Amino acid sequence: MTRRVVVTGMGGVTALGNDWPAIRANLLAGRTGIRRMAEWERFEGVNTRLGAPVDGFSVEGRWPRKKTRTMGPVARLAVFAAEQALTDAGLLGDPVLTSGRAGVAFGSSFGSPDSVLGFYELKMNGASRNLNATTYIQMMGHTTAVNIGLFFGLTGRVIPTSSACTSGSQGIGYAAEAIRAGKADIMVAGGAEELDITDAAVFDTLFATSTRNDRPGTTPQPYDRDRDGLVIGEGAAALILEEYDHAKARGASIHAELVGFGSNSDGNHVTQPQAATMAVALRLALADADLPPEAVGMVNGHGTATEWGDIAETQATAAVLGSAMPIHSLKSYFGHSLGACGAIEAWLGIEMMREGWFCPTANLTNIDERCAELDYIKGSVLRKSVDHFMSNNFAFGGINTSLIFKAV
C-alpha cells in the first residue's frame, strides 16, 4: 500500500512579507517587492541595480545567541521558515521530532557568500581575522539543512539539496519520497536563499539581468515580449510533509496532498534549457500522481523573465498540458529567489488553491509570440477552484522538477 504524503504545516518569508496574510494583500494589490539596491552602487562591474530583499528581517532576540552561531543569513531565513511551518503544523517542541522518524530535506544554491571572505583572506594574505570555528558551517552548501536539524533536534535523515533553482522543489520531492518509502513519518522540506551581489553578478555575466534600474516597478516581465531579464530576490519557505495516517492520528490540519513529483536532467548544456526534457519531467510528475494531463487545473511556472527560459518552459508546458492551461509566474512579484523559489512557489500555490484564486503575472502586457500558446494569467486575478495544481522549476545544469499538489 502506497503511503500518502500530506502537507500539515507551511511558512516562510519573501520580499512581500513574512506570513501569508501580508503576502496575500500584496499579491491582490499587484504590489511587487522589487527595488533599486542603493547598496550595490559601488559594484561598477555589475550592470543591474535591482533586487528583491526581505527588508527588516532579523532574528536578533528571537533565539539564544548560542543557537545562531552556526547560521549565516541564509540559514537564519531557513530556520525561521521551518519554525513557522512547525508551529503551523502543531509540532514545535513535539517529542516526535527527536524520535528518529522526523527529518529534513532542504536546500540553497550556496551557503552564505560573505563567509568565503575569511578563506580568501587566508589564501591571499597568509592569515585571516575572519575565520572562526563556524565559518565553514555558514559557507557549506548544506548549511540550511544542517542548521534546521540542529535547531529543532531532528534525528531522522538529512537530505541536502543544493541544485540552484530546483533546490527547494527537490527538497520537497525527495522528502515525499522518503516518507513514501517508510524512512520517515515527518519531513521539514523546502529551500532558502539570501540576496547577495554575487548572485546578481552570475546572471549579469550571462546578460540575463534586468537593467531597468530607474524603473523597478516595471520588471521583471515573465513571458512578455518586452522583458529585459530577471531580478534576483531572497527568502525561504518550508513545508511540513507528513504521512497521512500519522497526521490523522494526531488530529493535524491538512492543507494539501503532494501526489506527484518528477525530476530529471537535460543532459545537454549547463545553461541552455531544453523543452523536450522539461516536458519529460512534467510527464514524470503526472505518472507519479497517476493523473491525466486534464486533471491539472493550474500551473505555477518557473517564469524567470529570461528569453530562452520562458520560451522552452512554455513549449514544454503546452506540449504536456495543452494550450488552454492557465499559467502564471510568482517571480514577477519577488524576484528569482534561486534555491528558495521552488519552496516559496509551492507554499503560495497551496494557499491560493485553498482560497480559490490565483494572482496574475505582474508586468505581463504583451505575450511573447515565441512562447507557446497557453492561458497566461495577466491583468486581473483568476477566480478558479482547482483540484490539482502543478509547480515547475528548472535549474542550471539542466535540472528539471515538477510537483503536483491536490486540494483537500
Alpha-carbon distance of 70 to 135, in angstroms, equals 8
CB-based contacts of 97-101 (< 8 A; 24+ apart in sequence): 97/152, 97/153, 97/154, 97/155, 97/186, 98/153, 98/154, 98/155, 99/155, 99/156, 100/155, 100/156, 101/156, 101/184, 101/185, 101/186
Q: In the annotation, is 142 catalytic?
A: no
Closest CA to 4 of 165, 177, 223, 145: 177
Q: Is the dihedral of CA 346, 329, 79, 71 positive or negative?
A: positive
∠ CA 339-63-108 to the nearest 5 degrees?
Answer: 10
Q: How far apart are the first and last CA of the chain?
A: 20
Q: Is the dihedral of CA 116, 119, 121, 127 positive or negative?
A: positive
Alpha-carbon distance of 316 to 288, in angstroms, equals 18
Give the list of residues 6+ apart from residue 387 with CB closer than 8 angstroms, or none. 295, 297, 406, 407
CA quadruple 314, 343, 377, 20: dihedral, nearest 10: 180
Q: Which of 142, 246, 255, 302 is catalytic?
A: 302
45 burial type by CB count under 10 A (0-12 exposed, 13-18 middle, 19+ buried): exposed
CA quadruple 134, 136, 142, 145: dihedral, nearest 10: 0
Alpha-carbon distance of 391 to 292, in angstroms, equals 16
Cell readout for 203 is 546572471
Alpha-carbon distance of 316 to 406, in angstroms, equals 22
Cβ-contact 159, 145 below 8 angstroms? yes
- How many other C-beta atoms are found inside a 10 Å radius of the C-beta of residue 370? 12
Q: Which of 142, 165, 341, 371 is catalytic?
A: 165
Q: In the annotation, is 341 catalytic?
A: no
Q: In the annotation, is 165 catalytic?
A: yes
Q: Which of 142, 246, 336, 388 is catalytic?
A: 336
**DSSP-based three-state secondary structure for 90:** coil
Alpha-carbon distance of 90 to 86, in angstroms, equals 6
Annotated catalytic residues are 165, 302, 336
